[in-house]
Protein backbone atom coordinates (compact mmCIF):
# COMPACT_ATOMS: atom_id res chain seq x y z
CA UNK A 1 0.00 0.00 0.00
CA UNK A 2 1.09 3.56 -0.66
CA UNK A 3 1.56 5.52 2.55
CA UNK A 4 0.77 9.23 2.61
CA UNK A 5 2.58 11.36 5.19
CA UNK A 6 1.56 14.94 5.88
CA UNK A 7 3.58 17.59 7.64
CA UNK A 8 3.17 19.32 9.90
CA UNK A 9 0.48 17.59 11.94
CA UNK A 10 -0.57 20.91 13.44
CA UNK A 11 0.08 24.39 12.20
CA UNK A 12 -0.59 27.64 14.08
CA UNK A 13 -1.09 30.65 11.87
CA UNK A 14 -2.73 34.06 11.76
CA UNK A 15 -5.26 35.54 9.39
CA UNK A 16 -3.41 36.78 6.32
CA UNK A 17 -0.53 34.32 6.65
CA UNK A 18 0.70 32.23 3.74
CA UNK A 19 0.37 28.58 4.75
CA UNK A 20 1.97 25.53 3.17
CA UNK A 21 1.17 21.89 3.95
CA UNK A 22 3.27 19.05 2.58
CA UNK A 23 2.18 15.55 1.61
CA UNK A 24 4.68 12.82 0.74
CA UNK A 25 3.85 9.52 -0.90
CA UNK A 26 5.84 6.38 -0.18
CA UNK A 27 6.14 5.77 -3.94
CA UNK A 28 5.36 7.72 -7.06
CA UNK A 29 1.70 8.54 -7.60
CA UNK A 30 2.22 10.74 -10.68
CA UNK A 31 -0.30 13.58 -10.16
CA UNK A 32 -3.10 11.45 -8.72
CA UNK A 33 -3.50 13.46 -5.56
CA UNK A 34 -6.41 15.31 -3.99
CA UNK A 35 -6.67 17.74 -1.08
CA UNK A 36 -9.68 18.04 1.21
CA UNK A 37 -10.72 20.46 3.94
CA UNK A 38 -12.72 19.20 6.90
CA UNK A 39 -14.33 21.20 9.68
CA UNK A 40 -15.47 19.63 12.98
CA UNK A 41 -18.63 17.59 12.61
CA UNK A 42 -18.75 18.10 8.85
CA UNK A 43 -17.92 16.02 5.81
CA UNK A 44 -14.70 16.66 3.93
CA UNK A 45 -14.76 19.11 1.03
CA UNK A 46 -12.70 18.61 -2.11
CA UNK A 47 -10.33 21.53 -2.76
CA UNK A 48 -7.77 20.30 -5.27
CA UNK A 49 -7.70 17.29 -7.61
CA UNK A 50 -4.98 15.92 -9.87
CA UNK A 51 -2.42 17.65 -7.66
CA UNK A 52 -3.00 21.18 -8.93
CA UNK A 53 -6.52 21.54 -10.37
CA UNK A 54 -8.84 23.75 -8.35
CA UNK A 55 -12.28 22.26 -7.74
CA UNK A 56 -15.17 24.41 -8.90
CA UNK A 57 -16.26 26.96 -6.32
CA UNK A 58 -13.07 26.79 -4.27
CA UNK A 59 -11.44 30.18 -3.66
CA UNK A 60 -8.27 30.82 -5.71
CA UNK A 61 -6.23 31.43 -2.55
CA UNK A 62 -5.96 27.63 -2.44
CA UNK A 63 -3.42 26.06 -4.76
CA UNK A 64 -1.72 22.70 -5.13
CA UNK A 65 1.54 21.65 -6.66
CA UNK A 66 3.85 18.68 -7.02
CA UNK A 67 4.13 15.35 -8.74
CA UNK A 68 5.71 11.99 -8.10
CA UNK A 69 6.12 11.74 -4.35
CA UNK A 70 6.05 15.29 -2.99
CA UNK A 71 3.08 17.63 -3.00
CA UNK A 72 2.08 20.89 -1.37
CA UNK A 73 -1.15 22.67 -0.59
CA UNK A 74 -0.75 26.43 -0.23
CA UNK A 75 -3.21 28.95 1.14
CA UNK A 76 -1.95 32.30 -0.07
CA UNK A 77 -3.67 34.44 2.58
CA UNK A 78 -5.33 32.56 5.41
CA UNK A 79 -8.92 33.56 6.07
CA UNK A 80 -11.01 32.92 9.23
CA UNK A 81 -13.03 30.28 7.35
CA UNK A 82 -9.85 28.31 6.58
CA UNK A 83 -9.17 27.10 10.11
CA UNK A 84 -9.81 23.41 9.67
CA UNK A 85 -8.10 20.06 9.13
CA UNK A 86 -6.66 19.29 5.71
CA UNK A 87 -6.14 15.83 4.23
CA UNK A 88 -4.34 14.62 1.16
CA UNK A 89 -5.47 11.47 -0.66
CA UNK A 90 -3.82 9.52 -3.46
CA UNK A 91 -5.78 7.71 -6.14
CA UNK A 92 -2.97 6.19 -8.12
CA UNK A 93 -3.64 2.57 -7.24
CA UNK A 94 -5.68 0.53 -4.81
CA UNK A 95 -6.08 1.00 -1.96
CA UNK A 96 -6.70 4.72 -2.06
CA UNK A 97 -5.22 6.16 1.13
CA UNK A 98 -5.36 9.45 2.98
CA UNK A 99 -2.73 11.33 4.89
CA UNK A 100 -3.17 11.62 8.64
CA UNK A 101 -4.30 15.23 8.43
CA UNK A 102 -2.94 18.68 9.21
CA UNK A 103 -4.87 20.83 11.63
CA UNK A 104 -4.60 24.56 10.95
CA UNK A 105 -5.17 26.45 14.20
CA UNK A 106 -5.47 30.10 15.09
CA UNK A 107 -2.20 31.51 16.41
CA UNK B 1 -27.66 20.53 -6.44
CA UNK B 2 -26.07 17.23 -5.50
CA UNK B 3 -27.37 15.67 -2.30
CA UNK B 4 -26.21 12.50 -0.61
CA UNK B 5 -28.05 11.37 2.51
CA UNK B 6 -26.84 8.41 4.52
CA UNK B 7 -29.00 6.41 6.91
CA UNK B 8 -28.94 3.13 8.80
CA UNK B 9 -26.26 3.80 11.37
CA UNK B 10 -26.66 2.96 15.03
CA UNK B 11 -25.45 0.89 17.95
CA UNK B 12 -24.74 -2.77 17.26
CA UNK B 13 -23.04 -5.52 19.26
CA UNK B 14 -19.78 -7.07 18.12
CA UNK B 15 -20.51 -9.76 15.57
CA UNK B 16 -23.72 -8.06 14.52
CA UNK B 17 -24.83 -6.66 11.19
CA UNK B 18 -26.00 -3.34 9.87
CA UNK B 19 -27.01 -2.04 6.44
CA UNK B 20 -26.21 1.52 5.49
CA UNK B 21 -28.04 3.34 2.72
CA UNK B 22 -27.19 6.47 0.79
CA UNK B 23 -29.93 8.26 -1.13
CA UNK B 24 -28.63 10.39 -3.99
CA UNK B 25 -30.29 13.26 -5.81
CA UNK B 26 -29.42 16.18 -8.03
CA UNK B 27 -27.39 14.22 -10.57
CA UNK B 28 -27.64 11.20 -12.83
CA UNK B 29 -26.69 8.54 -10.30
CA UNK B 30 -26.02 5.85 -12.90
CA UNK B 31 -23.25 7.98 -14.47
CA UNK B 32 -20.96 7.94 -11.44
CA UNK B 33 -19.00 5.46 -9.39
CA UNK B 34 -19.64 5.74 -5.66
CA UNK B 35 -17.59 5.16 -2.55
CA UNK B 36 -17.86 4.64 1.19
CA UNK B 37 -15.27 6.36 3.39
CA UNK B 38 -15.19 6.11 7.17
CA UNK B 39 -13.71 8.13 10.00
CA UNK B 40 -13.18 6.71 13.45
CA UNK B 41 -13.83 9.14 16.32
CA UNK B 42 -11.10 11.76 16.43
CA UNK B 43 -9.17 10.00 13.67
CA UNK B 44 -8.43 10.39 9.99
CA UNK B 45 -10.22 9.22 6.88
CA UNK B 46 -10.19 5.63 5.60
CA UNK B 47 -11.43 4.49 2.20
CA UNK B 48 -13.73 1.48 2.66
CA UNK B 49 -15.23 0.42 -0.66
CA UNK B 50 -16.04 1.64 -4.17
CA UNK B 51 -18.44 0.50 -6.87
CA UNK B 52 -18.51 1.37 -10.55
CA UNK B 53 -21.35 3.25 -12.15
CA UNK B 54 -23.06 0.08 -13.34
CA UNK B 55 -21.67 -2.13 -10.62
CA UNK B 56 -19.11 -3.46 -13.08
CA UNK B 57 -16.29 -3.15 -10.60
CA UNK B 58 -16.22 -3.40 -6.83
CA UNK B 59 -13.26 -2.82 -4.55
CA UNK B 60 -12.79 -3.20 -0.80
CA UNK B 61 -10.18 -2.22 1.74
CA UNK B 62 -8.47 -5.25 3.24
CA UNK B 63 -9.85 -4.27 6.66
CA UNK B 64 -13.44 -4.99 5.52
CA UNK B 65 -13.00 -7.55 2.74
CA UNK B 66 -15.17 -10.59 3.30
CA UNK B 67 -17.34 -8.81 5.87
CA UNK B 68 -18.77 -5.80 4.00
CA UNK B 69 -20.69 -5.78 0.72
CA UNK B 70 -21.24 -2.67 -1.37
CA UNK B 71 -24.12 -2.50 -3.82
CA UNK B 72 -26.23 0.01 -5.67
CA UNK B 73 -29.67 0.35 -7.20
CA UNK B 74 -29.49 2.83 -10.06
CA UNK B 75 -33.26 2.80 -10.48
CA UNK B 76 -33.59 4.07 -6.92
CA UNK B 77 -30.46 6.28 -7.01
CA UNK B 78 -29.25 4.52 -3.91
CA UNK B 79 -25.98 3.11 -2.61
CA UNK B 80 -25.74 0.49 0.11
CA UNK B 81 -23.18 -1.02 2.46
CA UNK B 82 -24.05 -4.32 4.12
CA UNK B 83 -21.80 -4.73 7.14
CA UNK B 84 -21.52 -8.15 8.77
CA UNK B 85 -19.34 -9.54 11.55
CA UNK B 86 -18.88 -6.06 12.93
CA UNK B 87 -15.95 -5.33 15.22
CA UNK B 88 -15.21 -2.55 17.69
CA UNK B 89 -12.70 -1.13 15.23
CA UNK B 90 -15.49 -0.61 12.70
CA UNK B 91 -16.90 2.14 14.93
CA UNK B 92 -16.86 5.27 12.79
CA UNK B 93 -18.83 7.83 10.89
CA UNK B 94 -19.51 6.37 7.46
CA UNK B 95 -19.71 8.77 4.54
CA UNK B 96 -20.93 8.02 1.06
CA UNK B 97 -19.20 10.02 -1.61
CA UNK B 98 -19.55 10.57 -5.33
CA UNK B 99 -16.43 10.04 -7.35
CA UNK B 100 -15.29 12.99 -9.40
CA UNK B 101 -15.31 12.39 -13.15
CA UNK B 102 -11.86 11.39 -14.34
CA UNK B 103 -10.44 9.98 -11.16
CA UNK B 104 -11.06 8.37 -7.81
CA UNK B 105 -11.30 11.43 -5.65
CA UNK B 106 -14.55 12.54 -4.13
CA UNK B 107 -16.31 15.72 -5.17
CA UNK B 108 -19.49 15.33 -3.14
CA UNK B 109 -20.06 13.81 0.29
CA UNK B 110 -23.02 13.00 2.48
CA UNK B 111 -23.28 14.19 6.06
CA UNK B 112 -22.30 10.78 7.41
CA UNK B 113 -23.95 8.21 9.63
CA UNK B 114 -22.44 6.98 12.89
CA UNK B 115 -21.93 3.27 13.45
CA UNK B 116 -21.02 2.24 16.99
CA UNK B 117 -19.98 -1.35 17.66
CA UNK B 118 -20.07 -2.04 21.36
CA UNK B 119 -21.41 -4.60 23.81
User: pLDDT by residue (tens digit) across B6-22?
Assistant: 999 999 999 999 999 99
Calculate the alpha carbon distances from A62 to A10, A36, B82 in Å: 18, 11, 37
Residues of A in contact with B103 (CB under 8 A): 32, 34, 49-50, 91
Helix (H, G, I), strand (E, B) or coil at A82: helix
Report residue B88 CA to chain centroid gap: 18
Interatomic CA distance for residues A53 and A30, integer angstroms: 14
B100 with A49: Cβ contact below 8 A? yes
Helix (H, G, I), strand (E, B) or coil at A65: strand
Is the CB of residue A46 less than 8 Å away from at least one CB of chain B? yes
Chain B residue at shortest CA distance from A50 = B103
Percent of chain B exceeding pLDDT 70 equals 100
- Strands A97-98 vs B78-83: parallel, antiparallel or unpaired: unpaired
Residue B101 pLDDT class (50, 70, 90 cuts): confident
Chain A residue at shortest CA distance from B5 = A43
Q: Are B10 and B115 in contact (CB under 8 A)?
A: yes
> B48 to chain A, minimum CA–CA distance in Å?
9
Q: Which among A43, A55, A100 has the least Cβ separation from residue B44?
A: A100
* Tens-digit pLDDT profile for residues B49-61: 999 999 999 999 9
pLDDT reported for residue A74: 98
Dmax over CA atoms of chain A, in Å, equals: 38
Contacts of B84 (CB under 8 A, 6+ apart): B17, B67, B68, B69
Give average pLDDT by consecutive 10-residue segment, chain A, 107 residues.
97 96 97 97 97 96 98 97 97 95 94
Residue whose C-alpha is closest to residue B34's, from B16, B20, B52, B47: B52
Residues of B in contact with A55 (CB under 8 A): 100, 107
Residue whose C-alpha is closest to residue A39's, from A69, A72, A83: A83
A·B CB contacts under 8 A = 56
Q: Are B106 and B100 in contact (CB under 8 A)?
A: yes
Amino acid sequence: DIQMTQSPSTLSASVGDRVTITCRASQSISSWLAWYQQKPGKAPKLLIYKASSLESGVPPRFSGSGSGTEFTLTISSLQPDDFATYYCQHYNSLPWTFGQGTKVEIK
Amino acid sequence: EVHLVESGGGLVKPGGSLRLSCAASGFTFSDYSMTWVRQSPGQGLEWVSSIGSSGGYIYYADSVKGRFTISRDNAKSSLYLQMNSLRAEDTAVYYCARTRSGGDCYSHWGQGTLVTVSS
